[in-house]
Homo-oligomer: A and B are copies of this chain.
Amino acid sequence: MKGQGTVPLSHLVRKLEQFVRLSPADRAMLARAASERVRNFAPRADIAREGDRPTEVHLILTGWACRYKQLEDGRRQIVSFFLPGDICDLNVFILREMDHSIGTITSVTIADLSRDFFEEISASYPRIASAFWWESLVNSAIQREWTMSLGQRTASERMAHLFCEIFFRLRLAGLTQGDSCDFPLTQADLADATGLSKVHVNRTLQELRSTELISLKGKSLRIPNLERLMNAGLFNANYLHMEHEGRQFDSNE
């Protein structure tokens, strides 16, 4: 039973184990959760819309998605990306309605986690609960870092920073191959995420390519020298909190 191989759940487990050591029972619980209600979405589809009542928490099993908001006049901002293994807001169901939408980038498989499930977790699976807290605090930190990027970083810094962030997050979930990873975002997506125009995104990418900070063709990203890209984006990984918390959170089994 050891080694879940490439099953979708493994991204979540791999990521959570960055923080706590999970017991076989913990893993079984997660496996149960991830199979309860599974749904598939086409690329560029909405999983949830602003105004909807949130009734469950979504766990991204495969594919990329994003949270986005729109102004009445159509201006659109992607406020975060969801990668495989990511969980959308713990406990959202206590709010009456969504203040943003969740849409897919690629085709996506999600598992819907019910409220009861969360209550069971907090009552009986303290390590999972801890890890979920960690995930949620990291997501808040990412959102703050985006605020920083949009407020202070220049176009090329912003772009470099985003590439670093995504690469680190994918790596944590076991989704990189050496210095490369899948990268399904279009330049329009990057524009919506960075607050730049599509045209300027294009020019900024050319700049990053010409200085050999990235190589981006098709849907694949390669970062030949991560350190250099991090410097270019003033990227400090501390906000991802990829530290292991030590023994106090380990499984005793």
Contact B137 A94 (CB under 8 A): yes
Contact B94 A245 (CB under 8 A): yes
Q: For chain A, which range describes its interface: under 10, 10 to 19, 20 to 34, or 35 or more residues? A: 35 or more
A69 CA / B51 CA spacing, docked (Å): 32
A130 CA / B99 CA spacing, docked (Å): 19
Q: Using Cβ atoms and an 8 Å threshold, which residues of chain B touch A147?
A: 77, 79-80, 143, 146-147, 150
Question: A133-148: contact bitstring with B at CB < 8 Å (1 yes, 0 no)?
Answer: 1100101110111111
Contact B76 A134 (CB under 8 A): no
Select from chain B the residue with minimum beta-carbon distance to A129: B122
Contact B150 A195 (CB under 8 A): yes
Q: Does A243 contact B (CB under 8 A)?
A: yes
Apart from A95-B134, A95-B137, A96-B245: 4 A-B pairs, beta carbons within 8 A: A76-B152, A99-B141, A140-B140, A150-B151
Q: Could you list which residues of chain A lie within 8 angstroms of chain B, going by C-beta atoms? A: 50-51, 67, 69, 71-73, 75-77, 79-80, 89, 91-92, 94-97, 99-100, 122, 130, 133-134, 137, 139-141, 143-148, 150-153, 194-195, 234, 238-239, 241, 243, 245
